[in-house]
Amino acid sequence: MNELDDLSYVRFCDRQNLNKALNTLQGIIKGVNIDGVVTTEEIEELKTWCEEHAVYKKLNPFNELLFLLDDYLADGIFDPEEIKDVSWFLEKAIESNEYYDCITSEIQSLHGILHGILADRNVTEDEVLSLKKWVNRHTHLQGTYPYDEIYGVLLDVLEDGIVDEEESELLKAFFSTFVELSRDNQQVLSKELKGKMTSFGVCSVDPEIIFENKVFCFTGKSVRASRSILASNVEKLGGVFSKNIIKNTAYLIYGSGGNQCWAYSCYGRKVEAALELRKEGNQLIIVHENDFWDAYEDTSSSL
C-alpha cells in the first residue's frame, strides 16, 4: 500500500499538524540560539525533531526542509549562516500558510522557544533575558495560555535583574510543563527535577477587567475585605460571583493576604482548576487582588 493511502498517516499529516510543526520548529531554533550559542545537546535535540517528523518527508515544504536540516546538522555544527538559511526558509513557508491565525502561530512558536531553551537541560540568565524581550514584544498574546503564565513568572524572577541558580532550576521545572522534549532528554530532565518545586502560581499582568455579566471566583485570603463583601462588590457592578471555578468563569482573583511567596508556591486547588480550563482554550484570567481593586474602583467611579 502506498504510504499516502494509509488513513492513519493522512490524519497525522493533516494541515493542522503540518502547520504546528513548522511554527514549533521556528520557535525551537530561536530557543536554541537565543543565547547565541548552539550546543551539542541542542543539535541532538534538533536531529531528534527531524527523525520524529520524517513521516512528512514526501510533503511540501518538509521534503526540502528536512533535507536542508539533515545537511546542516550532519557535521555536528549549526553555525549562524545555517541558522539564517533555515529561519528564512521557515518564514517563507509559514507566510504562505493560512491555516492558523497570528495568535495561534505565535503561541506555537513560544512553545518551540521554551523547547529550544531546555534542549541542553539548562536555563541561563542570557536565555531568560532574551525570552523576556520576546514576551515584551508580544504583549498582544496577553490572556492566551501559556503567555500569561510565562510572562508573570519572568517578571518575578527578574525583579532583581538577575537569575540565580535556584531560580534557574525553578524556571527549568516550570518550562518543562509546557514542552515535550525528545525521550532521552525528557527522562534526564524528569530525573533532575524529581523532588523540586514544579509549579508557580501565576497572575496576568495589568489585565483588563470587565464586570458586566462576567463570572468571578476568589481564592486565597483578601487583605481588604471579607469574601461576602467581595461577592457583593462584584454583583454591584453587574458581575456574577461563584464560590467555585465553573466552565464560564472569566476571572479568578488571587487574594494577597496568604503566602507572600505565592509565585513560587504549588498551585492551590482553584488555581489548578483555572489553569486546566486555560489549557482547554477557556479565556479565564488569573488576577492579583490589587488589580481587582484597581478595576473595581475605576469602574465604580465611572458609574
Q: What is the pLDDT of residues 178-193, one digit of tens each?
A: 776 665 555 555 555 5
Range list of H helices, 119-203: 125-137, 147-157, 165-175, 183-193
At 246-298, the pLDDT tens digits run 999 999 998 866 544 444 344 467 887 888 888 887 889 888 888 899 999 99
Name which residue leads in pLDDT, 162 or 201.
162
According to the model, what pLDDT value does residue 137 have? 93
Which one, of 42, 191, 53, lies nearest residue 123 by Cα? Answer: 42
Mean pLDDT value across residues 58-75: 91
Claim to verify: residue 279 and residue 182 sit in the same structural domain: no
Please state, in angstroms and rounded to a whole number, the distance separating the CA atoms of residues 56 and 10. 10
Claim to verify: residue 224 and residue 273 sit in the same structural domain: yes
Mean pLDDT value across residues 60-85: 92
Range of the domain at 237: 215-301
Name which residue leads in pLDDT, 258 or 14.
14
According to the model, what pLDDT value does residue 61 have? 87
How many distinct structural domains can be found in the chain?
Answer: 2
Q: How confident is the model at residue 196 (pLDDT cuts 50, 70, 90)?
A: very low
According to the model, what pLDDT value does residue 194 have? 43
According to the model, what pLDDT value does residue 256 have? 67
Q: Is the peptide bond before 61 cis (omega within 30 degrees of 0)?
A: yes
Claim to verify: residue 173 and residue 224 sit in the same structural domain: no
Indicate if the pLDDT at residue 195 is higher than 50: no
According to the model, what pLDDT value does residue 153 have? 84
Claim to verify: residue 16 and residue 165 sit in the same structural domain: yes
Q: Other CB atoms closer than 10 Å to residue 217's CB: what's the count?
A: 22
**∠186-188-193 over CA atoms, to 5°?**
90
Kindly state the DSSP code that residue 267 receives in the 8-state scheme.
P
Q: Is 201 inside any structural domain?
A: no
Q: Is 73 inside any structural domain?
A: yes
Domain boundary among 160, 193, 226: 193
Proportion of the chain above pLDDT 70, given as a percent: 81
Claim to verify: residue 42 and residue 99 sit in the same structural domain: yes
Q: Read off the CATH number of the domain in which 244 is found.
A: 3.40.50.10190
Q: How confident is the model at residue 4 (pLDDT cuts 50, 70, 90)?
A: very low
Helix (H) or strand (E) holding 108: helix 102-118
According to the model, what pLDDT value does residue 152 have? 81
Q: Is 207 inside any structural domain?
A: no
According to the model, what pLDDT value does residue 251 have? 94
Lowest model confidence (mean pLDDT) among 44-58, 89-103, 182-196? 182-196
Q: Is 210 inside any structural domain?
A: no
Round the average pLDDT of the chain to a whole number and report it: 82
Claim to verify: residue 178 and residue 288 sit in the same structural domain: no
Which one, of 115, 120, 154, 104, lies nearest residue 134 by Cα? Answer: 154
Tell me which amino acid residue 257 is: G
Claim to verify: residue 188 and residue 63 sit in the same structural domain: yes
Claim to verify: residue 181 and residue 286 sit in the same structural domain: no
Burial 171-200 (b: 16+ CB within 10 A, else e): bbbbbbebbebbeebeeebeeebeeeeebb
Tell me which amino acid residue 126 is: D
According to the model, what pLDDT value does residue 201 have? 43
Indicate if the pLDDT at residue 21 is higher than 80: yes
Claim to verify: residue 56 and residue 163 sit in the same structural domain: yes
Q: How confident is the model at residue 9 (pLDDT cuts 50, 70, 90)?
A: very low
According to the model, what pLDDT value does residue 283 have? 84
Claim to verify: residue 120 and residue 249 sit in the same structural domain: no
**92 within 8 A of 128, measured Cβ to Cβ:** no
**149 within 8 A of 202, measured Cβ to Cβ:** yes
Claim to verify: residue 23 and residue 163 sit in the same structural domain: yes
**20 within 8 A of 46, measured Cβ to Cβ:** no
